[in-house]
Amino acid sequence: MREEIVAGISHWLNCLEKERKYQQELFKSLLNEQPIAKRVEDGFSRFPLNVTDSGFAMGGIPYAILEYMNKKKREDHFQSGMPVRFFSAKEGNIENECRAVVHWKHKNQMKVFLQLRDLPEWLTDGGLGLDVLHDERTFRQMRSVMEGLMEGKNPPQTNKILNVFYGNQFPDSRRQRGEPYQNEALNTSQCKAIENCLLADDVGCIHGPPGTGKTTTLKYLIKELVNSGEQVLVTAPSNAAVDWITLQLQAIKIKVVRVGHLSRVDPEIVDCGLEARVFSQDEAQQIKKVRIQAEDARRQAERYKRNFGPQERKLRRELFRESRELSQWASDIEKRLVEKVLDDAEVICATLSGSDGSVLKGRKFKTCIIDEAAQALQGACWLAMVRAQRVILAGDPFQLPPTVKNPELMDSQMSKTLLDIAISNFPDRLSLLDLQYRMNKTIMEFSNQWFYGKKLTAHHSVEQQLLNSDNALAEAVEFVDTAGCGFEEQQHEHTLSYFNKDEYLILREHLDPLLHTNFIHSPTVGILSPYAAQVRFIREEMEAEAGLPFDLQIKTIDSFQGQEKDVIYLSLVRSNPDQKIGFLKDYRRMNVAMTRAKRKLVIIGDSATLGTDLFYSALLDYIEKKGTYRSAWEFMG
């Protein structure tokens, strides 16, 4: 293997280790130094919890469904697939604990798989809670796969893909198709993207800016691959992204199996899960019966603990042997059914981490598709890519990047994705989806100019869409300027996140006419901010109000990628004499925020703080020319 490839991977691994240590220390101090109440406030714990159900899942793994007793909505850091500490506590002191993994999270409930042989006796003691833990497993997975690549014992096709990304080798194409790909349900750029991916011999890339129908394009690409006889591996960095594409594939009657943890509990997605598919088989009922028999034998054996003679000792050994044999029998049946379900699937969907699990061990694919590749670390992508002869990356490098917590690594090789490398090394092989179906043209155009080289076009069905109102609410883009109002930012004492109470008051005044307008169809509304402290403050203020005419979603920008609303309010928060703007400097976050709006975008901020930055200066100039520029003084009585 070429020295520059080994050096590049080694450097990435060094960054990975720095990030691992940083996160490890971060979570260690969180659990050891902060009381439960503080962890709950900051979203790293849920306490207290009630058990609404418990039992055993596939593989005899014990589970518990836990309900959060505090009904108040708050942002937290729990996600499906995440390792957690499950504990019982009294008077603020943890008395019992075990490790667990979140299987799904829905509203105020979570299902967790416990890393125990049996359900704990303290499950009914009360005082139950969950803590977020550092995800050591994913770091181990990434290190293992990257070290394996450096060893050079890879199949020829893996080495070929390795050279494309790290050795400046150009991707290969197969011979041309007899006829170009055509589909009346797709536009020209979507059809061309599918054709290019079908022709790719090793690497294909789809660049899907906001609203351009990336998921729809992938859906029909996968359908074409399945029709050619392939079994396809479809992955993404998050459970939410995997679940979404799973639902799209199921809707067009593709036989899809979802492996791993779920981000949602809709019947449609649960029924696609591997466990549901396995237990829908006729033989699956036998597994449950045998496991019950094995558990009964084990419990009978454990009654003989001390002060028993030779006959009781013999009986104890026989009961333990019977329990082991029955458990093995159940496992053998289950493994056979799992293989049958996976063999029958046309598409297998999993997260990047989940694709490296034991369930898919030894399974190879002709094509692996990675959705949201711009949010995936290089090492995570390779967990899936080593299983395939060809990889298709899909995403948008001008939206949110992978999560890197160590400030020293923000602009390092660690945060550079394979999609970034593709754009840099072989931009001509990227298929850009250039027709967007979400935003009014005025909302789209600034991002189009700054990020996408003016290559996007708004579809005629959306380019002029506005709120169905004759008053000022109909304007597509507004900036409300708080400069000179004395609305200085504040910093949360514990989380160090920023918030701006006065800026919210202006937002609320601007929102009021919208709430009191009679619409034929009520618009959907989202209130976004880059700062969690501002989101928490706005949410608490809005929840105190009664009788709002329609639902409002109030979220951080990072938690809203992939979603859309008719109206988006964006609270930028930063206002200080030093003109510091923090991570507003990552313009990709602003791109995500602005492109969530379909009909109206309202940005509230301090031009005196923002305007010295080149990006925000250009944005303010654009809004003055194409939208409406207003002063916060208009909303101050």
Q: What is the DSSP string of 579-619?
A: ---GGGG-HHHHHHHHTTEEEEEEEEE-HHHHTTSHHHHHH
Rounded-to-integer distance, Cα 434 and Cα 187, Å: 9
Those residues of the chain that have pLDDT short of 70 are: 1, 71-74, 174-178, 263-265, 284, 287-288, 292, 301-302, 304-309, 469-472, 546-549, 637
The per-residue pLDDT for 334 is 80
Architecture of domain 34-134: Beta Barrel (2.40)
- Per residue in 579-611, pLDDT tens? 999 989 999 999 999 999 999 999 999 999 999
Nearest CA among 463, 398, 369, 435 for reference residue 190? 435
In this structure, are residues 510 and 525 in contact, taking their beta carbons and an 8 Å threshold? Answer: no
Helix (H, G, I), strand (E, B) or coil at 104: strand
Amino acid at 267: P
Nearest CA among 285, 284, 283, 256 for reference residue 268? 256
Rounded-to-integer distance, Cα 576 and Cα 596, Å: 27
In the block, tokens 């029909």 appear at: 220
The per-residue pLDDT for 113 is 94
DSSP letter at 173? B
Strands of the sheet containing 365-370, edge to edge, are 256-258, 347-351, 232-236, 365-370, 388-395, 203-207, 430-432
DSSP letter at 356? G
**Does the domain made of 138-255+346-432 have the CATH classification 3.40.50.300?**
yes
- Per residue in 548-580, pLDDT tens? 667 789 999 998 888 999 999 999 999 999 999
Provide the whole-model pTM: 0.89
Instruction: Give, in words, the CATH class of 435-635.
Output: alpha beta
| pLDDT averaged over every residue in the chain | 89
Cα dist from 10 to 5, 148, 204, 381, whole Å = 9, 12, 25, 16
The per-residue pLDDT for 74 is 67
The per-residue pLDDT for 1 is 55
Amino acid at 46: R
Rounded-to-integer distance, Cα 603 and Cα 482, Å: 11
The per-residue pLDDT for 71 is 66
In the block, tokens 């709006």 appear at: 597
Helix (H, G, I), strand (E, B) or coil at 258: strand
